[in-house]
Structure formats: structure tokens, C-alpha cells
A and B are shown apart, each in its own frame.
Chain A
Amino acid sequence: MHIPKEKITSILATDCGSTTTKAILIEKVDGVFRLVKRGEAPTTVEAPIEDVTQGVFNAITELEELVNRKFLDGKELIKPKKNDKNGIDIYISTSSAGGGLQMMVAGVVKSMTGESAQRAALGAGAIVMDVIATNDGRLPHEEIERIRHLRPDMILLAGGIDGGTTEHVAKLAELIAAADPKPRLGISYKLPIVYVGNNKAADLVKERLGEKTALDITDNLRPTLETENLMPARHKIQALFLHHVMQQAPGYNKLMKMTDVDIMPTPGAVGDIMQLIAKQKGIQVVGADIGGATTDVFSVFQGIYNKTVSANYGMSYSISNVFVDAGLDNIMRWVPFTMDERDLRNRIKNKMIRPTTIPYLLKELIVEQAVAREALRLSFDQHKALAVGLKGVQKERTIGDALSQVDSSESLVNLLGLNMLIGSGGVLSHAPRRQQTAMMLMDSFLPEGITQLTVDSIFMMPQLGVLAKVHPEAAIQVFEKDCLVYLGTCIAPIGTGKEGKPCINVKLKKSNGHEVDVDVPFGQIHIMALPVGESAEVTVTPVRGFDMGEGSAARVSGTVHGGTTGVIIDTRGRRPFELPKDNAKRVEKLLEWIKAMDLYPKYPKFE
């Protein structure tokens, strides 16, 4: 950095997402760092401008216009700050512009190691573009052509049990070496290859691929025929994706020269902020950052931090993949009106091919928020499956698990113990009404017991994450004053019952002594007003068959925090949460909840 930390008063920070580049200006005002303004522009990783820095300049230009100041002199940043009208002291950035993770996997026998490798890659959030196996019936040159055409972001090479024959694995390595795979994001880095095969063949693989690729060797995912050990491979894939693929983008080298400190991958930066919140407040946290290509989920339970990147669930580039994986019915279950399937399909695909468009009509917003619910749900499922303990602790699957597709590991994520749910990302941070954000978080994560709901105000956690590395005080000041928005607290008992039958009693005692006592029957959402900054003592008494964490019908007490929405009592059921199967009934219930939450302006008619 060219300037001592004490002299910094003006900070420009950008986050280059796969779809949008966001620029924020942070300045010291009356001795405290505050957010001044935010600008944004489409990320420029596509022709005709395949250079991420152009999007950065465009976002900064918008910021300049909004604050009527100059930060750029042509294509150079004005540093340090010259006067009130010109320049900034430091420039920092995060990036996830590289987008999703598309892998190829290679194994000796397609139905054995090939499939294990595929499971490892899928579980790590990747899309598997192709499985190459010695017995897949293709000729070597066909496989080489395929590798070259697909330009995978990473290759997972498996094969053989530990101590077994090495010949086939060596041949696969030769095939990959002959393909001389070039990463899709240019020549600035080597293609990551993760070797997870026979430990005896590791040296042979190193000989063949060590020079040409960024080879990483980890534990065999099929150490014996009967055991499958997927976790080390999954963690390695996630780590390599984060550091070698995701932040890369056309023009990335130019961006690196502009920043005062190293560019951080967006999930790393957001994860640091999530950890900071958990540590500062001594609470258990789940956070999610939903972007255009990826959805990142973070959790801190029992002091253990886990981060997963669902590399192909997102709201623009990956929206079609959410549609395919979740299915039409799962998306439409959140929508209180009918839509022609043909029309919906075309709209989703058009969003994929033109990722920067935004919903203009209310019905479009509702559909996009429905997709977001499913993207978050699927990403959280992946997170729960991966967040199974400390890194490096191996969990083994038996052949029975492998065949039945059941993961034998126990997730650390315990929703009853969760204190705070944090949302970030465009669809959550920029929802026109904060209630919409609260509802999306509730529908996708299905919090249980008492859970505080928050959201990143304007989607600035990534920038604060990297700022914390340079100037922790500035990051904390902005975070506390401008970043976290308290949406309210969700109270949701576990259990299911009949519509309208007794479910829960909630007694709320506010700090001014005012008391509210309410019985909420099953199947409803009920709001108790409690503004931002206020807290109240709450006693929750569920009826028999419902559990707030202390057992059936057991009373629980605690403190709840207010927010933009207030205290939300959600008796729609948990384990399972189910929407009515009858379509008319489902729409009726959705409209009832929309009204209770005051979600949209046109209630109850969307036509």
C-alpha cells in the first residue's frame, strides 16, 4: 500500500460479480468511516469487451456521477485523494467474475471410480461436463478433442484402489497431458487437476502432469473397493475453485495491477465478515450470498466455520440450472398465479443469455424471488451435506451408502441452535420491500425455534471483507452502521398439524412494559410489531405435538430483536414444511401469507 493506514480517509472498493460490478465509496466523516454511495454496472466478461476492468471503470464512473466527484483520470485512478473533489486513498476489490464451476472427471472404470469421482464433483457444487473412463468406448483422440472443446475449469482424476495397478491411471494422465487443456479464462494460470486415485500411482501422475498443469494430489476417493472417501476430494475442489477459478476473469491481470492489496475471492471476503459477526456476538450463524452464477453458504456452529460454494446455482448465468435441478413444480409452488410453462421457460432462458436484465413487472419479480428461494434451498442442502466437521477429518462411506446415495456423515448445521440468518446478494439485498427478503430467507432455510433474520443492506459484505484485511476498524464501523439490516425475528415451532387448529402461544414483553399475548393456530404467519433497535422478552408455549427445541409442548423463553418487519410467528409447519397440494388452496394460503407479511403492492390481485 502506498499510504500509511492512519492517513486513509477515502476508500474505493469494488466487487466484480459474474453479472454486476459494484463500486462503493467509504469515507471518514467526523472521525467515523461511513458508506457514502454505491454505483454499479454490468460486469464485462463478454464480447465485445472481454475485460473485467471495463465494468469496474463503468461502475466507478456511475459512482463519480452520483457524488459529483472525480476518481478516474482516463483509465488511471487518482490516488491519493487530492481534495474534496478529486481522488481516493486506496482501491481494493473482490471478484467472483469467473462464474460457475464446470468440471470433467476421469476414472478407470466408468461404473466404479468414474462414478465416485462424479459424486465427489457434484457434491462439491460442480457441473460434471463429461466422465472420461478407460472403458467408455471412445478413442483417445475423441476424448482429447472433448477436453479441448469443453474447456473445463478443473479435472478430477481418479482411478484404482490404493496399492492396485497403476497402468490405467498413468494412461489417463497421459491422455490429459496430450490434450494440453487450456483454462477458459486465459493463459494466466494453469488448469487445476485434482488427483484422487491410487496412491501408488501418484508419482507417475506427477511425472506426466506436474509441469503442464496445477496438479494437486489428495486422498484416494476409492481407497478400497468397498469404501468411498469423498470428503477430501470435495474440500480440495472447493478450495481450488475459490482460489484458482472463481476470481479469475478476462482482464483479471489488469485489475490486479490496479488494487492496493491482493484481490480476494468474493466468498472468502464474505465468509470473513460472517465469521466476524459470529465471533463478536458469540452466536451460531448461517449466511448466504446469492449471486448470478454461484450461491455461497456459510455457517458457524460449535465454533466451526464452514463455507460452501454452490457453483451452479444463481440468478443469472445459473438460473436455468436452478430451474432444471429444482424443477418447474418446486419453483411454481411459491407463485400465487398461473403461468404458461412455455412462456416461463423462455423467460428463464432469456435471463440466462442476457444476465443483466431486471424484473420490471411485479409478476416477474415474484417469479424471480421464487427461483431465488429454490436456489437458496438447493445450496443450503449442499452446504448441510458438506458441513460435516473439521476439514481433514475423513468420513468414509461404505459401498452400501454409495449405492443407496445416502451420506453417512452427520451435518454440523442444526437449525434449532441457529441464532442468526444473514442474507446477501442482489435478489436479497435489493428486494424492493425488506419483508420480501425475510420471507425468502424463511421459505428457503426454514429456520426452527427462535432465529434473528438480517440482510446485507446494499450487498456490500464482499467489499467489507477485503477492507477488513487492510483497515479492520473502518470495516467494522461501516459494517455496524451501514451494512447489516435487522429484518426481525422468526419464531417457528417444529411439527405439523391441521389448518386452523391450535399450535402456539406467544407472550411478548417489550422493554417499555407493554405486553402482547397471542395464540397463533397452525398454518399461519403472524406479525408482532417490534421496531429496529428494540428487543423484547418472549415466552413461547407450543401445544402438544409442536416443539420449540425443548420437547413437545415445552415452553421456551428468550430475547427477540426487532427489525424492519418485526417478530414473525411462522406456524406453517416444519419437518416437514408442506404447501397445500390442492392448487386453489395453495394459492389461497400464499395470498394469505403475502397479506400477513405485506409483501407486494398489488395484493390480492396480480393480474
Chain B
Amino acid sequence: MANAYTPGLKVSEKTVIAKERRLPLMGDVLVKKGSRVKYSEIVAKTELPGNVELINVVNRLSIDPKEIRDFMLKKEGDKVRKGEAIAQSSSFFGMFTTACPAPCEGTIESISCATGQVVLRQNPTPVEVAAYIDGIVDEILPKEGIVVKTIGTYIQGIFGVGGETVGELCMVASGSSMILDEKHINDSHKAKIIVGGALVTAAAIKKAQACKVAGIIAGGIDDETLKNFLGYDLGVAITGNENKGITIVITEGFGNINMAGKTFELLKANAGKLTSINGATQIRAGVIRPEIIIPKENTNEKDIDMQVESNLLMDAGSTIRIIRVPHFGEIATVVSLPSEPRQIETEAKVRVVEVKLESSGETFVLPRANVELIEK
């Protein structure tokens, strides 16, 4: 076989990105098809009815249920604050009064002359969905939400934690091999999405949390750091719901691994731009990868990257990254793809690829399964 297929993640400078924005319950869509939305704009909302509080007014005031309406200070539909009197009785010509306060904020729903109870409905909980990315409303999902579409840079990470967040992209790393440590992070990074090069350290994450950084993008992370950050050992990689106040997107893998050149350069070119990221990852069939979206204004669909199939084929001259030891993380060029299986150190006979290391020029063979195609 002259070439071989290797899997890869999507890294596009310009592509069409569509995101579904859906309410968890039926509600109202607030925008129209074709309208332009900002990432923070609420595009759909609904209200979750509040819980009900039963207030036994007649017991409290020592009155007869039939008389309850004579003592009520509020009527059905009135809004009340916590502690505000909703009913009151007086005795000795008004010298002594007994009040019945509202146990919580809400609306009087009903007053029963039969039981003497007042039903107080707590305030509804608003449930809202924001656009998440700047773009155009491409589709309306009636009563549920919208599909927002934009053209922009789209980078898939390999692993992430934390949910959606948006901020200004800020290059902290000077190069794709720089380790992101606490000394690189300060208060000026508040609410921003900062970009490291290779590894992000545990101390850096801690400092970023303290500085209220919105998100971190880095090449690698130590599993030990991840375990300490999450507070548990991750068995099956299903993430996205961690409430840690920060989202992390790892582009390459675990350990100290340089960010791919193309990814780093794309991020660098977009420094200062508004960027939406989501760390949600599900590594299983039907995979979900973390994402970095940088919408671009004044771009139309003619200018987008076309993902051509030949990009996925490895051939002599292709640039690859080694994804397992030895030489884990190093970049190399394919010299040849021998067709016959060869015996490797483990004594297994496998199909191999002959590669030349970019850093040292050293040439050797590796299992084909242990390399992935990358764009320089």
C-alpha cells in the first residue's frame, strides 16, 4: 500500500459552523430567522413554574376560614416579598395586631375560604439559552431554540473539561513548545481565553482559576494534574459538566506535548478575537471533541476550506506526528511505507512507516498505527 489512512482532528482556518441552541423545556424563541446575533444574546427563554407554599392563615390569625378574605392584605395575583404581611388581624380596638408574613417571595395564587389556606407560588426560575457564537440565525426550532451559523476558524481539541465559555483570545505562550506555568498568568487575563504552548501545569490552572480566567487552551496536560483538578480519577472520558469556573481544551494529548504548528499559528493569528470554547468531550463511538470557534466577520461561504479526502492519506513526504513512545510528540516526515510487515522490538510483526525526525534528521521505522498526519 503506497499510502495509509490515519485519523485526525478538524483544524480549519475558515469553515461553516452551525450550532444548535435548544431550551431544555418548551418556551419562546426570541429571534427571527436571518437575524444577526451576538454570542451573549438570549435567543430563547422559558420559565420554570415556582414551587408552591401553603400558608395556613386561619390558624395563624385564629380566625374562621369563612372570614379569611376580610383579613387578607393581598389578593390573588399580587406579588409579595419575603416577610411581607399577607394577612393581618387586630384586637382591642386595633391596639394589638397579628400579622401573617409571606415565607418567601412569590405570587398569591389562591385563597381558600373552605380550608383557610393561602397558596403562594414562588417566583418562576428563568431558563435561557444564549447564542454562544456570533452569527446568523439559520433555522428556528419552534418553541425550542435556533440553529446559529457562522463562518470562522474551527479547531477540535482532543480532550477537554468544562462547558461553554466565551472570551477574548490571548496568546500567553511565545511558542508552541512553551510550558504554561503560573508565572505567565496574571489579573489582566481575567475573563479571557489564554493560550499556552505545550504542557499546562497544575499551578497554572490554579492561578488561572484565582485570576478568573475563562478558559485555557494548551497542547498537553498531565493526567495527575487532571485528577487533582477534577477531584477524581477519570475512567471513561465523558466531560463537560464540571463546574470549576474554567474550561480547558487540550489540543494534542496527555503529557508535555507541543501544540501542533498549524493550530498554534491559527490561534496566534486570531489573538484578540472573541472566541467561544467548549471542553465537553465524549470519547466513544459517536465521539464529541472539545471545540474552539472564532467567528469571522465579512467572510462568505466561497472562502471556506474544503476538507479534501487526500488530506487523510499518508504518503512519502507527508508530515506526521509520532503519537506513542519512543519519540512521542515529535514531528517527522514520511520517507517510505514498506508494504511488508516488519518485526519491531516487541517481536510483533506489523506494518510500518519509515520516518525522518524533523528535529535531528534521524531516520527509523515505526508502526503505522503510531503516527498521525498533521499539517505543518
- CB proximity of B240 to chain A, nearest CB, Å: 6
- CB proximity of B352 to chain A, nearest CB, Å: 10
Complex: how many Å from CA A178 to CA B344?
55
Complex: how many Å from CA A127 to CA B227?
18
- CB proximity of A351 to chain B, nearest CB, Å: 8
**A534 within 8 Å of B (CB atoms):** no
**B245 within 8 Å of A (CB atoms):** no
Would you call A149 and B240 a contact (CB within 8 A)?
yes
Would you call B284 and A358 a contact (CB within 8 A)?
no
- Interface residue ranges of A75-118 to B (CB < 8 Å): 97-100, 102
Chain B residues near A151: list those with CB within 8 A.
282, 286
Would you call B241 and A146 a contact (CB within 8 A)?
yes
Contacts A249-B285, A346-B223 given; does A360 touch B367 at CB 8 Å: yes
- CB proximity of B222 to chain A, nearest CB, Å: 6
Q: Which of A137-145, A194-202, A409-417, A498-506 lies at the interface?
A: A137-145
Complex: how many Å from CA A46 to CA B312?
13
**A185 within 8 Å of B (CB atoms):** yes
* Chain A window 433-475, contacts with chain B (Cβ cutoff 8 Å), 1 for yes, 0 for no: 1000000000000000000000000000000000000000000
Contacts A48-B10, A141-B25, A360-B366 given; does A61 touch B345 at CB 8 Å: no
From the candidates A41, A45, A129, A430, name the one contacting B287 in the complex (CB within 8 A). A45
* Chain B window 252-277, contacts with chain A (Cβ cutoff 8 Å), 1 for yes, 0 for no: 01110000000000000000000000
Complex: how many Å from CA A140 to CA B253?
36
Q: Which of B84-92, B170-178, B323-331 lies at the interface?
A: B323-331
Complex: how many Å from CA A538 to CA B366?
46
Complex: how many Å from CA A100 to CA B284?
7
Would you call B7 and A42 a contact (CB within 8 A)?
yes
Would you call A46 and B7 a contact (CB within 8 A)?
yes
**Total A-B contacts with CB atoms under 8 angstroms apart:** 191
- Interface residue ranges of B323-367 to A (CB < 8 Å): 323-326, 328, 339, 344-348, 350, 366-367
- Interface residue ranges of B22-64 to A (CB < 8 Å): 22, 24-25, 46, 48
Q: Which of A156-164, A221-229, A319-327, A569-577 lies at the interface?
A: A319-327
- Interface residue ranges of A24-55 to B (CB < 8 Å): 41-42, 44-50, 54
Contacts A149-B280, A357-B324, A358-B367 given; does A346 touch B255 at CB 8 Å: yes
Q: Which of A207-215, A361-369, A539-547 lies at the interface?
A: A361-369
Which DSSP category, helix, strand, loop or mixed, fits chain B's interface? loop
Chain A residues near B370: list those with CB within 8 A.
357-358, 360
From the candidates A46, A98, A141, A361, name the one contacting B346 in the complex (CB within 8 A). A361
Complex: how many Å from CA A127 to CA B237?
11
**A349 within 8 Å of B (CB atoms):** yes
Complex: how many Å from CA A585 to CA B95?
91
Would you call B25 and A178 a contact (CB within 8 A)?
yes
Chain A residues near B307: list those with CB within 8 A.
48
**B127 within 8 Å of A (CB atoms):** yes
**A551 within 8 Å of B (CB atoms):** no
Would you call A45 and B286 a contact (CB within 8 A)?
yes
Contacts A320-B234, A361-B326 given; does A102 touch B223 at CB 8 Å: no
**A308 within 8 Å of B (CB atoms):** no
* Chain A window 343-378, contacts with chain B (Cβ cutoff 8 Å), 1 for yes, 0 for no: 101111111111011111110110000000000000
From the candidates A48, A141, A149, A348, name the one contacting B312 in the complex (CB within 8 A). A48
Would you call A61 and B1 a contact (CB within 8 A)?
yes
Would you call A150 and B238 a contact (CB within 8 A)?
yes
Would you call A358 and B237 a contact (CB within 8 A)?
no
* Chain B window 64-85, contacts with chain A (Cβ cutoff 8 Å), 1 for yes, 0 for no: 0000000000000000000000
Chain A residues near B328: list those with CB within 8 A.
350
**B114 within 8 Å of A (CB atoms):** no
Chain B residues near A360: list those with CB within 8 A.
324-326, 344-346, 366-367, 370
Contacts A346-B222, A354-B253 given; does A179 touch B346 at CB 8 Å: no
Would you call A139 and B125 a contact (CB within 8 A)?
yes
Complex: how many Å from CA A149 to CA B162?
12
Chain B residues near A312: list those with CB within 8 A.
235-236
Would you call B224 and A345 a contact (CB within 8 A)?
yes
- CB proximity of A66 to chain B, nearest CB, Å: 9
**A318 within 8 Å of B (CB atoms):** yes
Contacts A41-B5, A358-B350, A361-B345 given; does A97 touch B25 at CB 8 Å: no
* Chain A window 317-341, contacts with chain B (Cβ cutoff 8 Å), 1 for yes, 0 for no: 1101101110000000000000001
* Chain A window 180-220, contacts with chain B (Cβ cutoff 8 Å), 1 for yes, 0 for no: 00001110000000000000000000000000000000000
**A58 within 8 Å of B (CB atoms):** yes
Would you call A361 and B48 a contact (CB within 8 A)?
no
**A73 within 8 Å of B (CB atoms):** no
Would you call B238 and A102 a contact (CB within 8 A)?
yes
**A293 within 8 Å of B (CB atoms):** yes
Would you call B346 and A144 a contact (CB within 8 A)?
no
Interface size class of A (residues with CB under 8 A): 35 or more
Would you call B284 and A99 a contact (CB within 8 A)?
yes
From the candidates A185, A293, A345, name the one contacting B223 in the complex (CB within 8 A). A345
Complex: how many Å from CA A364 to CA B348?
12
Would you call A185 and B236 a contact (CB within 8 A)?
no
Complex: how many Å from CA A353 to CA B223?
12
Would you call B285 and A184 a contact (CB within 8 A)?
yes
- CB proximity of A600 to chain B, nearest CB, Å: 8
Contacts A65-B1, A149-B241, A345-B254 given; does A141 touch B24 at CB 8 Å: yes
Complex: how many Å from CA A65 to CA B339?
9
Would you call B285 and A45 a contact (CB within 8 A)?
yes
Would you call B347 and A432 a contact (CB within 8 A)?
yes
- CB proximity of A22 to chain B, nearest CB, Å: 14
Chain A residues near B326: list those with CB within 8 A.
360-361
Would you call B24 and A356 a contact (CB within 8 A)?
no
Would you call B283 and A317 a contact (CB within 8 A)?
yes
Would you call A185 and B285 a contact (CB within 8 A)?
yes
Complex: how many Å from CA A139 to CA B369?
46
- Interface residue ranges of A120-136 to B (CB < 8 Å): 127, 129
Complex: how many Å from CA A185 to CA B5?
23
Chain A residues near B344: list those with CB within 8 A.
360
Complex: how many Å from CA A149 to CA B5?
31
* Contacts A/B (CB < 8 Å), 11 sampled: A42-B7, A47-B9, A61-B1, A140-B48, A141-B46, A317-B236, A318-B236, A345-B254, A349-B226, A360-B345, A432-B348
Q: Which 9 A-B pairs have the closest CB atoms?
A: A321-B235, A432-B347, A345-B223, A184-B286, A324-B235, A346-B255, A346-B254, A144-B24, A349-B254
| 10 extra A-B contacts, CB within 8 A, seeds A140-B25, A184-B282, A360-B345 | A42-B5, A99-B285, A146-B241, A178-B25, A184-B285, A184-B286, A320-B234, A348-B223, A350-B253, A354-B372
B interface residues with partner A (beta carbon < 8 Å):
1, 5-10, 22, 24-25, 46, 48, 125, 127, 156, 158-159, 222-224, 226-227, 233-238, 240-241, 253-255, 280, 282-287, 289, 307, 312, 323-326, 328, 339, 344-348, 350, 366-367, 369-370, 372
A interface residues with partner B (beta carbon < 8 Å):
18, 41-42, 44-50, 54, 58, 61-62, 65, 97-100, 102, 127, 129, 139-142, 144-146, 148-151, 178-179, 184-186, 248-250, 293, 312, 317-318, 320-321, 323-325, 341-343, 345-354, 356-362, 364-365, 430, 432-433, 601
